[in-house]
Amino acid sequence: MKLIIASNNKNKVREIKEILSDHFDEIISLKEAGLDIDVIEDGATFEENAQKKAREVFAAAPFADAVLSDDSGLIVDALNGAPGVYSARFAGLEHDDEANNRKLLAVMKDVQMDNRTCRFACAITVVRKNAPELNYTGYVEGRLLFEKQGENGFGYDPLFLYEPLNMSFAEIPSDVKNKVSHRYSALNGILELLNREGLK
């Protein structure tokens, strides 16, 4: 079964490939599939954005058996859920991780650690040929650090304290992160749905 990941974010594609490599015959990114499509993420929720991307890419890729899309971001309780669906463009320009982290630190600078609770969310949609659409949202709880820690990961990973290991997501090795992350939770949920159908 050929799966297209509706993304060209190399870090996100790498994580999904690492987690799902044993469950699909071929997993390719938009670029690897020869698709040049930019879906506008204007949904009010992560789920709406994931569904829109998966459906539009699937419509443009008749050669694919399935298309997987995810929308993920950081939810900070002290900011009433922000940056939320605007996580990638919190500072204005999309996918400017440094600017997003700087802005988040600035708006949270006076918030004490007890009130810095947050979570990563990841909504995944899989659209398939001749089969129902699958949707699942995964979460991982944490706290927002006062400064960046670690050199691995991407996005808000250096600011996200994973308390069970007392390490930021940017300090945790990728093979460990891939077993506790929001994306793993969501992908695992999708796999459980597939397994219920008797599929690989």
DSSP string, the chain: -EEEES---HHHHHHHHHHHTTT-SEEEETTTTT---------SSHHHHHHHHHHHHHHT-TT-SEEEEEEEEEEEGGGTT-BGGGGGGTTSSTT-HHHHHHHHHHHTTT--GGG-EEEEEEEEEEEETTEEEEEEEEEEEEEE-SS---SSS-TTGGGEEETTTTEETTTS-HHHHTTTSHHHHHHHHHHHHHHHTT--
Torsion sign over Cα 178, 112, 137, 3: negative
Q: Return d(Cα 94, Cα 31) in angstroms, integer.
A: 19
Q: Per DSSP, what are the bridge partners of residue 51?
A: none
- Choose, from 38, 65, 71, 97, the residue flagged as catalytic: 71
The C-alpha atoms of residue 62 and residue 38 are separated, in whole angstroms, by 17
70 is catalytic: no
Catalytic residue IDs = 71
